[in-house]
Amino acid sequence: MSQTKEVHNLSLKAYKDVFDSLYASLCIFAKSYVNNLDIAKDLVQDVFIKVWEDKIAFKNELAVKSYLYTSVKNRALDYLKSKRYKETDHMSVIELDVLNKESFYLKEVVIEEASSRIEEAINTLPNKCAQIIRLSIKEYSNNEIATHLEISVNTVKAQKKIAYKRLRPLLKDYFVFIAFVFNFSD
């Protein structure tokens, strides 16, 4: 779906494309509110069902993302305020207040969007290079990566250097955005 193209309502293909590209990120985003992946999945599915049933119109891709993230946040907050949640789990008014703040919402959206972009960028790397970077992100040391992948430490270092060189131009705009949001949202 192009950002300049007018979209009056989502066709089945456009709906499926949006669902496929955002479902996982929205579930993780919802989990940051409700702390339960199964409930998060249900909330996200509810939002997608509402979009489909109500044939909600969007002007561009940014409007779709904005609507979905906001709807998932609102659905999660409604769930946390619900009688069902209050009977089974307990959250203080202060904890609920923190989740309701715009800064929490912005941070969580940025984390999910950045994670998606980083994963897309890593997927452009050769397989071994991508494996090394994923392990590095999980805070494995060079020695641990070498042992895990049965390669030399020098190979790990060389592959990391190649990966960083390829990833830097792909992700430079996101690093600036993340730094901006985290420095000014509190």
Residue 93 has pLDDT above 60, yes or no: no
Maximum distance among all Cα pairs of the chain, rounded to whole angstroms: 57
Tokens of 90: 């307990």
Mean per-residue pLDDT, 63-87: 80
Are 48 and 19 in contact, with CB atoms under 8 Å apart? yes
HSE-up of residue 82 (Cα within 13 Å, Cβ side): 12
- Per-domain boundaries in the chain: 1-100, 102-186
- Check residue 94 and give its pLDDT: 59
Q: Answer whether residue 87 shows pLDDT above 60.
A: no
Using DSSP, state whether 141 is helix, strand or coil: coil
Residue 2, classed as helix, strand or coil, is: coil
Question: What average pLDDT is seen over the chain?
Answer: 77
Fold exhibited by the domain 102-186: Arc Repressor Mutant, subunit A (1.10.10)
Higher pLDDT, 89 or 127: 127
Give the confidence band of 20 by pLDDT, cuts at 50, 70, 90: confident
The Cα-based distances of 23 to 16, 93, 101, 158 in angstroms read: 10, 29, 23, 35
Class of 1-100 in CATH: mainly alpha
Residue 184 has phi, psi (to 5 degrees) of -115, 0
- Winning range, highest mean pLDDT, from 61-65, 74-78, 178-182: 74-78
**What's the pLDDT score for residue 83?**
56
Eight-state DSSP code of residue 9: S
- Give the model confidence (pLDDT) of 110-157 as tens digits: 667 777 777 888 888 889 899 998 888 778 899 999 999 999 999 999
pLDDT tens-digit map of 21-49: 888 889 888 888 888 889 999 999 999 99
d(CA 1, CA 170): 21
Of 3-12, 67-76, 113-122, 133-142, which one has max mean pLDDT?
Answer: 67-76
Q: How many CB atoms lie within 10 A of CB 48?
A: 18
Give the per-residue pLDDT at 12: 80
The answer to whether 29 and 71 have CB atoms below 8 angstroms apart is no
